[in-house]
Every structure is written in C-alpha cells, then in structure tokens.
A = this chain, B = another copy of it.
Amino acid sequence: MNITIYDVAREAGVSMATVSRVVNGNPNVKPTTRKRVHEAIERLGYRPNAVARGLASKRTTTVGVIIPDISSIFFSELARGIEDIATMYKYNIILCNSDQNKEKEIHLINTLLEKQVDGIVFMGGEITKEHEETFKSSPVPIVLSATIDANKEFPSVNIDYEQASYDAVTAMINAGHEKIAMLSGTLADPINGYQKFAGYKRALLDAGKEVNDDYVTLGDYTHDAGVNAMKELIALEDRPTAVFASTDEMALGLIHGAQDAGYRVPEDFDIIGFDNTRLATMVRPTLTSVVQPMYDIGAVSMRLLTKFMDNETVDEQVVLLPHRVEYRQSTSFQGE
C-alpha cells in the first residue's frame, strides 16, 4: 500500500484538505503548519497520485500528440518544440505515431480522449470530413501543427507553403533558369504535395512559362526517391537545369543522383530543398533550402494549445510563421 494524503495528514496532525493545499501551493496556509506538513511529506516519502488528482480535478496536465512518424528528422524536430513548451507549462505529453493512417488517427484521438488529455496537437496529412467531425466532437481543444484543414476552421500553425515554394522557384527564374523541374510529394498530401506544387506552378505562370509535365516528378520523401528522380530527369532529351524538391531528404537524393551520374551541382543543376533540416549542412555541396522553422512550429502550436486550455483569448487561431530561403552551395546564385 502506498502512502496517501491521508497518512500525511495524520502524521502532521492536520486534515487532508490542508495537506492538499500545501501540495498545491495554496497560499492560505499558516507558515508553521505548512512547514509541519512538508516535514511529514519528507518523512513519509509521500508522492501525490496524479491519477486521483486528475479524477477529482478533471485536469490531467497531460496533452496528446499525434505525429505521423517520430523517427522522421522533420517531425522529431517539431516534437521537440512541442515537448519543450509543454514542459515549460508543466504538461506531459502522450506521443502517438499515426503513419498518417486515417483510421489510426481517429482511433488515437479517441484513445487520448479516454485518457482525459487536456488538449491535443495533431500533425498529419490530409484532413478529411471524418477528421473534422472527430475534431468537432472533442471536449478538449485541438491544434493542427504543420497541417491545415481546407476551410481553416481549426486552430493551426504553419508557414505559407505555397508562397514559400513560389519564392524559391521565382529565385530560380530570376537567376535565368528556363527549365525548372520539381520533385513533389503526391498531390493528395495537402502540404508537401498540393501547396508546394501550387507555388511552383504559380511562379512559372507568373513568369510567363508553362508547366512541362516531364519536369514534374513525384517522390515518397526518401533519399532514394531523389536519386531515382534525378536519373529520370537526366534521361530526358531536354534536361532541366534546376530542380526544386519538396523536402530536403529528396533534395540530397537529387544531388547524389546527379553526382552518381557524373554531373555536378550547382554547375549542371541548381538544387533547392525544403525544410532546412539539419541534413542541409550535412551534404556537399551544402543545400540551399527553404527555411521552415520546425521547432518553432511545434513550440507555437503547443503555446497556442495552452491558451485554449487556459481559456485565454486568442486573436488569431490560424497562425502563419515566416519563411525564407537559406542560400548555400547547391545553387549558383545566392539570392533574388
């Protein structure tokens, strides 16, 4: 049997209410009794039971985090941002991998709700109608992180992916490139596919160019996908001179695919990646990349969630963080 608040009360010669007050830092306790209670706690080695507390207070100081894959270099950085801010606000995190599987995602939300989390940070891919219904039926706040629903009904934290892609591709155009390819994720992915591709397209159209289907390849975000995409691009009679990838890992693949075939970056191909993960400086040539502040997105998401949980007023629940292009050696040009 464990030591309970009742044991401490008896040991200190006070009521359990007083012990509870002391433990919770309630100021309405005479310093002498506070001291007596603290001593009793010390003597008995009392450790408050958070589960009982959660049941009585209806707050668990625990939040749920649904993440596609914690082993991804991208998401793990986000998770770190979330966790740091959670710790700062005294919350713990229940972490769940979803593999972006819809059924799993919805199931996980329900599990987290059963565990009475005080809020949820959701990272995922496509937000379907079913997701939206689940979100709406949640008794606790949910914040989307590096994820956004089509109608922007739910709180979310992102950068403007479309604009960021537009900026990167426009920089390529300004540097004189006529034949710009893109290695994108599937268009069903609202961010890494749809939005980033949309920015690529708009940049080309704004510059009076048209989208050449041969120059648009799809990948699954792995290094190998980049290597293979570059092979295909090189095989084209009319090769592109610049390639924009929707993730850094694929961009590294592009660089290595080019090098493996005897080409050089940036002399033969200018390459720009996306996310500015730590990988960008761990390759030669170092990778020019669109900076997405992953840690910050996680941190801001969590901060936003705390506001909802504490019923603070939030002025803007759809937040867009700034982005920019970090120029390194994989592009022969270094700015607009």
Which residues of A come within 8 Å of B, CB atoms? 2, 47-52, 54-55, 60, 62, 69-73, 76-77, 79-80, 83-84, 87, 92-97, 110-116, 139, 223, 249, 252-253, 256, 259-260, 278-279, 281-284, 295
Chain B residue nearest in CB terms to A81: B71
CB within 8 A of A80: which of B2, B69, B110, B223?
Answer: B69
| CA A48 to CA B55, docked complex, whole Å | 13
| A50 pairs with B281, CB closer than 8 A | no
| A51 pairs with B49, CB closer than 8 A | no
Chain B residue nearest in CB terms to A77: B71
| B223 pairs with A115, CB closer than 8 A | no
| B70 pairs with A73, CB closer than 8 A | no
| CA A96 to CA B223, docked complex, whole Å | 29
| A97 pairs with B114, CB closer than 8 A | no
Taking CB atoms, residues of chain B closer than 8 Å to A279 are 282
* CB of A74, distance to nearest CB on chain B (Å): 10
Top 4 closest A-B pairs, CB basis? A76-B76, A71-B80, A95-B95, A50-B115
Taking CB atoms, residues of chain B closer than 8 Å to A95 are 79, 83, 93-95
| CA A115 to CA B286, docked complex, whole Å | 45
CB within 8 A of A48: which of B83, B96, B114, B223?
Answer: B114
CB within 8 A of A70: which of B47, B76, B249, B278?
Answer: B76
| CA A186 to CA B110, docked complex, whole Å | 45
Taking CB atoms, residues of chain B closer than 8 Å to A76 are 70-73, 76
| A93 pairs with B94, CB closer than 8 A | yes
* CB of A7, distance to nearest CB on chain B (Å): 15
Chain B residue nearest in CB terms to A249: B282
Find the residue from A54, A62, A87, A112 having the highest chain B CB count within 10 A. Answer: A54
Taking CB atoms, residues of chain B closer than 8 Å to A84 are 97
* CB of A76, distance to nearest CB on chain B (Å): 4
CB within 8 A of A283: which of B49, B96, B113, B283?
Answer: B283
| A62 pairs with B223, CB closer than 8 A | no
Chain B residue nearest in CB terms to A2: B139
For the A-B complex with A71-B76, A71-B79, A71-B295 known, give 15 more contacts whose Cβ atoms are closer than 8 Å. A47-B110, A49-B55, A51-B60, A52-B55, A62-B94, A62-B115, A70-B83, A71-B80, A76-B76, A83-B95, A87-B96, A93-B95, A94-B94, A283-B283, A284-B284
* CB of A277, distance to nearest CB on chain B (Å): 10
